[in-house]
């Protein structure tokens, strides 16, 4: 008999946690809002692994109750009683949580997730607790910190703990916490230290340490900010480069500005959209690869349009650059309206594939998005290809010859008309590639290209015509200057300042940074 008795007892013991959880769920559901808040606070301070499903359900709005005030949890569409067996009595009503209870649920859940197996989950929980922790969690955090073996989770927990220790009655504990906060580069640490200094901190040593820590934190944040600005400058520069590279080639070659160049970017982006649609419809399993497939298609589409433009309009305006400017503007109006009529005036949705979304966290206040990193690399790759094409192929030789001296090249047998057409196709095609890149980071709409023509032309002016190196330097220079000026004096004033600087720069070097030497005068 003792055997049977033990078995029963053991069975009961095993059932206990389940019963505890179920009982808690029922109590929670039956309680009023004040009582529920109290419960959540208690749970957060003393987590039990068995409570996790209930908290998760609470956070995801999957808890309901029947008329007997018994708790039910929705799982995969069906409602199950929290204590396992009971059938619902009467209609189920979903539990509604107010904002305060929601906040408390999040804290309690994070506190429970510190017990999770997965280190990433624990890290996320610790980060959550850095933001918002009730003082009651202090002992629990200390126990977890002692038990934690993952370094990054440990660091995050230390910070969360330091936040709590700032209000400790013992000045020594506060001092330690302040010093700990100084070692992090977290934006939150700054706000905590600032509020501590602005508050009623009486201990002079803590005050001094807090000031020192604050300076340290600010320093680290400044570095993060500067790196962030430099990175967004590089990112803007790479986009400017993709937009301006083709313009630099055609402007160098023909001396005309193609005002429809921005629309090539737009068409490239819309090609990406169409390719994405086709993939969704016909090859959903390979959807992640659609940007790669869009590249050659966008290049072909825009290159063909560019060549057709050169053949039908620009060639007939040879030697009249201002008229070319107006005619190509007319073409850009027609292209924009055509797209607007075909695809609608609203922006279309081009989604990032998984491998382009998200980012890598370098510093607490610096995240580098993957799509921007990829685009910087892509821009450099396109520059490399263009360089190879211009310097290592027959076509490139011809393009350079016509750029330097059209008549002489024609005398030597270079088919200048053909070169013009092919170079125009190349320039437009590069803009099409730029459009694919743009579609991955911004909105795709009919007006997409309009804003790029001025910026691209400024790159060409600054870099000088017919020189790849000049365009690269000018694009990245303008991008970085833009992004560094933006936080100082605002985006608009920054743009105006840069325009003024470029006008002054032209006073000094009318031919741009890298000028081709020539002795031609009209």
Partner 1 sequence: MTQALNQTLLARATAKLGPQVSLAIGLLVLAVLLAMPLLHLLPADHAMHVSAYSLTLVGKILCYAIVALALDLVWGYAGLLSLGHGLFFALGGYAMGMYLMRQSAGDGLPAFMSFLAWNELPWYWYGTSSFLWAMCLVVLAPGLLALVFGFFAFRSRIKGVYFSIMTQALTFAGMLLFFRNETGFGGNNGFTGFTRILGFDITAAHTRAALFFATVVLLVASLYLGFKLARSKFGRVLTALRDAENRLMFCGYDPRGYKLFIWVVSAVLCGLAGALYVPQVGIINPSEMSPTNSIEAAVWVALGGRGTLIGPLLGAGLVNGMKSWFTVAFPEYWLFALGALFIVVTLFLPKGVIGLLKKEKDQ
Q: Which residues bind partner 1 (CB under 8 A)?
A: 251, 255-257, 313, 316-317, 320-327, 329-334, 336-338, 341, 454, 457-458, 461, 490, 492-493, 495-496, 499, 503-504, 506-507, 510, 521-522
* Residue among 22 and 462 whose Cβ is closer to partner 1: 462
Q: How far is the CB of 316 from partner 1 (least distance, A)?
A: 6
C-alpha–C-alpha distance, residues 427 and 422, integer Å: 9
Looking at the DSSP bridge assignments, the partners of residue 361 are 367
Tokens linked to 419: 């070169």
Q: How far is the CB of 458 from partner 1 (least distance, A)?
A: 7
C-alpha–C-alpha distance, residues 187 and 184, integer Å: 9
C-alpha–C-alpha distance, residues 43 and 26, integer Å: 15
C-alpha–C-alpha distance, residues 451 and 162, integer Å: 48
* Residue among 199 and 490 whose Cβ is closer to partner 1: 490
Tokens linked to 74: 């929705």
Query: Burial of 354 by CB count in 10 Å (0-12 exposed, 13-18 middle, 19+ buried)?
Result: exposed
Q: How far is the CB of 382 from partner 1 (least distance, A)?
A: 23
**Residue 444, CA distances (Å) to 85, 114, 127, 220, 329 in order:** 54, 42, 35, 36, 20
84: left (phi over 0), alpha (psi -120 to 50) or beta: left
* Residue among 227 and 313 whose Cβ is closer to partner 1: 313
CA angle (518 as vertex; 512, 522 as ends), nearest 5: 100
Judge whether 261 and 453 are in contact, CB under 8 Å: yes
Q: How far is the CB of 360 from partner 1 (least distance, A)?
A: 33
Q: How far is the CB of 442 from partner 1 (least distance, A)?
A: 18
Residues 6+ apart with CB under 8 A from 506: 461
Q: What is the 3-state secondary structure (H, E, C) of 218-275?
A: HHHHHHHHHHHHHHHHHHHHHHHHHHHHHHHHHHHHHCCCCCCHHHHHHHHHHHHHHH
* Residue among 378 and 424 whose Cβ is closer to partner 1: 424
Q: Which of 331, 216, 349 is nearest to 280 (CA)?
A: 349
DSSP-derived 3-state class of residue 47: coil
What torsion, rounded to 10 degrees, do the Cα atoms 51, 57, 58, 63 define? -110
Please report, for the chain, how many H helices and E strands are present, in that order: 20, 6
Q: How far is the CB of 26 from partner 1 (least distance, A)?
A: 54
Judge whether 100 and 111 are in contact, CB under 8 Å: no
Tokens linked to 140: 């629990």
* Residue among 251 and 270 whose Cβ is closer to partner 1: 251
Tokens linked to 170: 């013992």
Judge whether 300 and 429 are in contact, CB under 8 Å: yes
C-alpha count within 13 angstroms, C-beta hemisphere, residue 216: 17
* Residue among 229 and 332 whose Cβ is closer to partner 1: 332
* Residue among 13 and 521 whose Cβ is closer to partner 1: 521
C-alpha–C-alpha distance, residues 325 and 254, integer Å: 12
Q: How far is the CB of 99 from partner 1 (least distance, A)?
A: 30
Q: Which of 286, 400, 266, 426 is nearest to 333 (CA)?
A: 266
* Residue among 191 and 346 whose Cβ is closer to partner 1: 346
* Residue among 364 and 445 whose Cβ is closer to partner 1: 445
Q: How far is the CB of 297 from partner 1 (least distance, A)?
A: 25
Q: How far is the CB of 277 from partner 1 (least distance, A)?
A: 24
Give exposure, 478-496, as e/b (b: 16+ Cβ within 10 Å).
bbbbbbebbeeeeeeebbe
* Residue among 262 and 268 whose Cβ is closer to partner 1: 262
Q: How far is the CB of 472 from partner 1 (least distance, A)?
A: 20
* Residue among 399 and 458 whose Cβ is closer to partner 1: 458
Q: How far is the CB of 324 from partner 1 (least distance, A)?
A: 8
* Residue among 55 and 266 whose Cβ is closer to partner 1: 266
* Residue among 316 and 418 whose Cβ is closer to partner 1: 316
Q: How far is the CB of 465 from partner 1 (least distance, A)?
A: 10
Residue 98's CB is within 10 A of a number of other CB atoms, namely: 11
* Residue among 160 and 243 whose Cβ is closer to partner 1: 243
Q: How far is the CB of 339 from partner 1 (least distance, A)?
A: 11
Q: How far is the CB of 510 from partner 1 (least distance, A)?
A: 5
C-alpha–C-alpha distance, residues 182 and 34, integer Å: 37
């Amino acid at each position: 008999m003792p055997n049977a008795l033990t078995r029963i007892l053991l069975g009961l013991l095993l059932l206990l946690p389940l019963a505890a959880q179920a009982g808690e769920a029922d109590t929670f559901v039956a309680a009023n809002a004040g009582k529920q808040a109290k419960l959540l606070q208690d749970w957060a301070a003393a987590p039990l692994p068995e409570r996790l499903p209930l908290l998760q359900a609470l956070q995801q709005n999957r808890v309901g109750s029947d008329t007997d005030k018994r708790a039910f949890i929705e799982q995969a569409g069906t409602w199950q009683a929290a204590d396992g067996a009971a059938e619902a009595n009467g209609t189920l009503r979903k539990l509604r949580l107010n904002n305060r209870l929601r906040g408390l649920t999040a804290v309690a859940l994070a506190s429970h997730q510190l017990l999770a197996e997965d280190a990433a989950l624990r890290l996320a929980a610790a980060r959550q607790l850095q933001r918002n922790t009730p003082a009651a969690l202090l002992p629990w955090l200390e126990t977890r910190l002692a038990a934690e073996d993952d370094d990054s989770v440990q660091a995050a927990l230390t910070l969360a703990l330091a936040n709590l220790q700032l209000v400790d009655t013992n000045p020594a504990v506060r001092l330690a916490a302040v010093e700990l906060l100084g070692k992090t580069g977290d934006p939150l640490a700054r706000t905590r230290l600032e509020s501590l200094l602005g508050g009623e901190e009486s201990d002079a040593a803590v005050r001094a340490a807090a000031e020192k820590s604050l300076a340290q934190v600010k320093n680290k944040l400044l570095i993060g900010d500067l790196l962030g600005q430099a990175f967004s400058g590089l990112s803007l520069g790479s986009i400017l480069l993709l937009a301006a590279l083709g313009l630099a080639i055609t402007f160098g070659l023909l001396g005309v500005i193609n005002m429809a160049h921005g629309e090539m970017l737009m068409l490239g982006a819309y090609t990406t959209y169409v390719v994405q649609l086709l993939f969704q419809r016909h090859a959903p399993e390979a959807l992640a690869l659609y940007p790669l497939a869009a590249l050659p298609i966008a290049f072909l589409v825009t290159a063909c349009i560019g060549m057709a433009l050169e053949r039908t309009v620009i060639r007939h305006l040879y030697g009249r650059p201002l008229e070319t400017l107006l005619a190509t503007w007319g073409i850009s109006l027609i292209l924009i309206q055509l797209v607007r009529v075909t695809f609608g005036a609203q922006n279309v949705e081009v989604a990032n594939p998984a491998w382009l979304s998200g980012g890598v966290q370098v510093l607490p206040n610096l995240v580098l998005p993957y799509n921007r990193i990829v685009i910087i690399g892509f821009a450099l790759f396109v520059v490399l290809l263009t360089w190879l094409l211009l310097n290592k192929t027959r076509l490139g030789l011809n393009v350079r010859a016509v750029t330097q001296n059209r008549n002489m090249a024609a005398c030597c047998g270079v088919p200048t008309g053909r070169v013009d057409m092919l170079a125009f196709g190349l320039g437009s095609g590069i803009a099409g590639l730029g459009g694919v890149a743009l579609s991955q980071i911004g909105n795709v709409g009919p007006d997409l290209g309009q804003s790029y023509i001025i910026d691209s032309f400024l790159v060409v002016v600054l870099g000088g015509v017919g020189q790849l190196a000049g365009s690269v330097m000018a694009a990245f220079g303008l991008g970085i200057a833009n992004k560094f000026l933006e936080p100082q004096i605002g985006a608009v004033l920054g743009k105006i300042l840069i325009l003024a600087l470029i006008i002054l720069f032209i006073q000094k070097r009318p031919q741009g940074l890298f000028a081709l030497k020539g002795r031609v005068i009209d």
